[in-house]
């Protein structure tokens, strides 16, 4: 049936399956079928390294077949609905409803409506309470699972933290339960005993009259009061795939990816990932070089990217790049280092990574003034920015991207104007270099996004800027740019405000999400398919206000995610919030331990010395 549809869609390779590296198994020889569901299109999902890791990890079990499922684009969805064909998996082409487990990855809040749409297309009841014993169990994990409450009504259980170990434990428990012929309730009770598993139905929430949470407590003996995230303590011995699925068509990031480490030492106060993935755990260069050799041999990719939250903080970067260049140069494979820090960028590093081909250069000062960079604990100075710009220009780069945020706590109009002024001073650096010594065709792009307060950051208590305020600040930046070589782009604030509501939302938002889905909301991260008026109606019809979710949180308020233990303590986050208000900075983890609490996991940077 799938083959009959492909001639009618714009990009058939999204749905064919059968790519080099994909796993095929005999259905008669397996006990567990797991559908890994990415709530966005194929080219987005296939660019996510975590999918490849968990895909090959689960398929390493002889009794399990993990297949991929992506959100169909508009043309395919229309065909599925017209011909009454249920959503299918790529490998087998089988209906998703035929699987045992459906696992959604939650990479960004604006994909939540796609989850509901995929369940509907799979002919699976949207609400957990409406699913019978013959319906697959639905789970979810990923960074947005750190506050699972907006999706609590739709997901049977959540996986908190890194999935490599806990996913195997879930499969083991599921396999044992399946042999007993038990009920779903019995399965969920067994799963709730696994560290890192959260079953929403096993908890009750009571609200105050003002909408804040009065209490959050387990209603089942199997459910812990707090759910602790899982991490891979020794990153060197954790599972690493030695092959990748190579797509037939173009995807967003079409290259081999080498994950250097997890976590970040820096402690930027707006950054959720920097807190969620603590403590920092590195792989050795020897380990990484073996993996790189195998990935290049297995895929034929012409580019390899070194992946982490802050690549230039890898402690043995020179040794690693030497080894990688010895592998990649003879094969004319490009090497890219995203996530470079401005304060440790060097001419030597730049020259090394552009030996095969020159990739783009991107830096993230994040704020336009030093005062604001101190508030967010960026620990980058204007001198760092200008020094790095000069190194890049003298090294042959004529274009550069600079990332900033607006709407940060304590931000003023002067801080916003500072963004355009900083970009203009970068242009001045270019012109200060003698003409024969600088490259031609200067182009500076400043990309500005709107700050969204996220759980488990020091700014989780902060108010989110209104759309009106954000738009005023966007115009202030535009007016501050005085150099023709500077190009200014920014993200629409309407989407950011909605993202903020779901990032810090509670269970009541499930009603809003359901109403928005029924109105047709999906692919909300895409401007061409985003309908803010439908969302306004969904909030209003359910007696909720998006403004209420933008408000500052009381420091003694019970937050919807307080039951999740990520290791980093609430006391530490509050201390950092108070330091931000005083414009005080905190050194990185390798300079001095700030006592965040991540040492409780017994590994990583906390125990390097």
DSSP letters along 217-258, please? EESSTTS-SSEEPB--SSTTTS---S---B-SS--SS-SEEE
**pLDDT tens per residue, range 192-232:** 999 999 999 999 999 999 999 999 999 999 999 999 999 99
Q: What is the CATH number of the domain that holds 173?
A: 3.40.50.2300
Higher pLDDT, 357 or 543: 543
Position 335 scores a pLDDT of: 86
pLDDT over 90 at 116, yes or no: yes
Other beta carbons within 10 angstroms of residue 407's beta carbon come to 26
Which H, E and C letters describe 461-484, residue by residue?
CCCCCCHHHHHHHHHHHHHHCCCC
**pLDDT tens per residue, range 53-62:** 999 999 999 9
* Residue 388 within any structural domain of the chain: no
CB-CB contact of 456 with 573 (8 Å)? yes
Residues 266-283 have a mean pLDDT of 97
Give the bridge partners for 228, in sequence order.
565
How sure is the predictor about 239, in pLDDT bands with cuts at 50, 70 and 90?
very high
* Residue 570 within any structural domain of the chain: no
CA–CA dist 83, 95 (Å, integer): 14
Other beta carbons within 10 angstroms of residue 17's beta carbon come to 19
Position 359 scores a pLDDT of: 60
* Residue 558 within any structural domain of the chain: no
pLDDT over 80 at 134, yes or no: yes
CB within 8 Å of 451: residues ≥ 6 apart: 270, 405, 406, 407, 408, 459, 464, 465, 496
- Least confident range from 360-364, 395-399, 478-482, 525-529: namely 360-364
* Residue 316 within any structural domain of the chain: no
SS3 348: helix
How sure is the predictor about 362, in pLDDT bands with cuts at 50, 70 and 90?
confident
Number of domains in the chain: 1
Position 354 scores a pLDDT of: 66
pLDDT over 80 at 606, yes or no: yes
Position 356 scores a pLDDT of: 53
How sure is the predictor about 608, in pLDDT bands with cuts at 50, 70 and 90?
confident
Other beta carbons within 10 angstroms of residue 246's beta carbon come to 17
| Maximum average pLDDT range among 333-342, 420-429, 486-495 | 420-429
How sure is the predictor about 339, in pLDDT bands with cuts at 50, 70 and 90?
low
- Least confident range from 131-135, 160-164, 491-495: namely 491-495
**pLDDT tens per residue, range 380-414:** 999 999 999 998 899 888 999 999 999 999 999 99
pLDDT over 60 at 157, yes or no: yes
Q: Where are the beta strands (DSSP E) in 51-177?
A: 64-70, 101-105, 137-141, 157-159
CB-CB contact of 340 with 376 (8 Å)? no
pLDDT over 70 at 136, yes or no: yes
Residues 31-42 have a mean pLDDT of 98
Please give the residue range of the domain that contains residue 74: 2-228
* Residue 210 within any structural domain of the chain: yes
Q: Where are the beta strands (DSSP E) in 442-535?
A: 443-450, 486-490
pLDDT over 60 at 430, yes or no: yes
Q: Provide the mean pLDDT of the chain.
A: 94
CA–CA dist 64, 29 (Å, integer): 9
How sure is the predictor about 312, in pLDDT bands with cuts at 50, 70 and 90?
confident
CB within 8 Å of 601: residues ≥ 6 apart: 231, 233, 279, 567
pLDDT over 60 at 37, yes or no: yes
* Residue 382 within any structural domain of the chain: no
* Residue 94 within any structural domain of the chain: yes
pLDDT over 70 at 353, yes or no: no
Dihedral of CA atoms 91, 96, 98, 99 in degrees, nearest 10, equals: 80
* Residue 72 within any structural domain of the chain: yes
**pLDDT tens per residue, range 481-525:** 988 999 999 887 889 999 999 999 999 999 999 999 999 999 999
pLDDT over 90 at 265, yes or no: yes
pLDDT over 70 at 355, yes or no: no
Position 1 scores a pLDDT of: 66
């Amino acid at each position: 049936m799938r083959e009959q549809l492909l001639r009618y869609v714009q990009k058939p390779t999204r749905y064919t399956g059968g790519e080099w590296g994909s796993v095929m198994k005999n259905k008669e020889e397996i006990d567990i079928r797991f559908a890994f569901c990415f709530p966005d299109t194929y080219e987005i999902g296939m660019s996510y390294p975590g999918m490849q890791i968990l895909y090959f990890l689960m398929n390493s079990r002889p009794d399990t077949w993990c297949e991929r499922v992506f959100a169909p684009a508009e043309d395919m969805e229309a065909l599925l609905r017209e011909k009454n064909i249920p959503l299918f998996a790529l490998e087998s082409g089988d209906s998703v409803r035929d699987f045992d487990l459906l696992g959604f990855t939650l990479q960004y809040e604006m994909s939540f409506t796609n989850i509901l749409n995929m369940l509907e297309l799979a002919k699976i009841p949207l609400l957990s309470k409406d699913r019978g014993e013959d319906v697959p169990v639905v789970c979810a994990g990923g960074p947005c699972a750190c506050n699972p409450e907006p999706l609590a009504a739709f997901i049977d259980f959540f996986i908190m933290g890194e999935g490599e170990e806990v996913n195997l434990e879930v499969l083991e428990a599921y396999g044992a339960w399946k042999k007993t012929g038990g009920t779903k309730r019995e399965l969920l009770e067994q799963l709730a005993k696994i560290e890192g598993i959260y079953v929403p139905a096993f908890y009750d929430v009571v609200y105050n009259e003002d909408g804040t949470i009065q209490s959050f407590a387990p209603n089942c003996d199997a459910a812990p009061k707090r759910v602790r995230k899982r991490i891979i303590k020794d990153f060197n011995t954790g599972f690493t795939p030695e092959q990748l699925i190579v797509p037939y068509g173009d995807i967003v990031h079409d290259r081999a990816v080498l994950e250097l480490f997890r976590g970040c030492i820096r402690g930027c106060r707006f950054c959720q990932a920097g807190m969620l993935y603590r403590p920092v755990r590195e792989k050795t260069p020897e380990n990484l070089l073996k993996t790189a050799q195998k990935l290049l041999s297995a895929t034929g990719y012409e580019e390899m990217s070194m992946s982490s939250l802050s690549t230039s903080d890898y402690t043995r970067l020179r040794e690693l790049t030497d080894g990688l260049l010895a592998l990649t140069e003879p094969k004319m494979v490009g090497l890219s280092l995203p996530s470079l820090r401005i304060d440790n960028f060097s001419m030597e590093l730049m020259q090394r990574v552009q030996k095969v081909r020159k990739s783009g250069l991107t830096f993230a000062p994040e704020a336009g003034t030093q005062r604001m960079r101190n508030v967010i604990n960026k620990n980058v100075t204007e001198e760092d920015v200008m020094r790095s710009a000069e190194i890049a220009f003298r090294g042959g780069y004529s274009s550069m991207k600079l990332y900033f945020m607006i709407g940060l706590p304590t931000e003023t109009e002067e801080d916003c104007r500072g963004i355009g002024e900083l970009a203009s001073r970068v242009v001045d650096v270019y012109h200060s270099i003698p003409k024969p010594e600088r490259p031609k065709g200067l182009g500076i792009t400043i990309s500005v996004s709107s700050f969204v307060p996220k759980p488990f950051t020091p700014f989780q208590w902060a108010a989110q800027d209104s759309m009106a305020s954000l738009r005023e600040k966007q115009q202030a930046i535009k007016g501050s740019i005085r150099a023709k070589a500077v190009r200014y782009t920014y993200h629409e604030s309407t989407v950011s405000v909605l993202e903020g509501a779901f990032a810090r939302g509670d269970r009541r938002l499930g009603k809003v999400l359901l109403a928005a889905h029924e109105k047709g909301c999906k692919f909300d991260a895409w401007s061409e398919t985003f309908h803010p008026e439908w969302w306004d109606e969904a909030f209003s019809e359910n007696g909720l206000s998006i403004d209420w979710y933008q408000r500052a949180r009381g420091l003694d308020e019970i937050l919807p995610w307080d039951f999740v233990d990520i290791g980093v303590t609430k006391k530490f986050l509050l201390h950092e919030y108070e330091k931000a208000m005083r414009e005080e900075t905190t050194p990185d983890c390798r300079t001095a331990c700030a006592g965040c609490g991540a040492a409780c996991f017994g590994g990583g940077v906390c125990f390097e010395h």
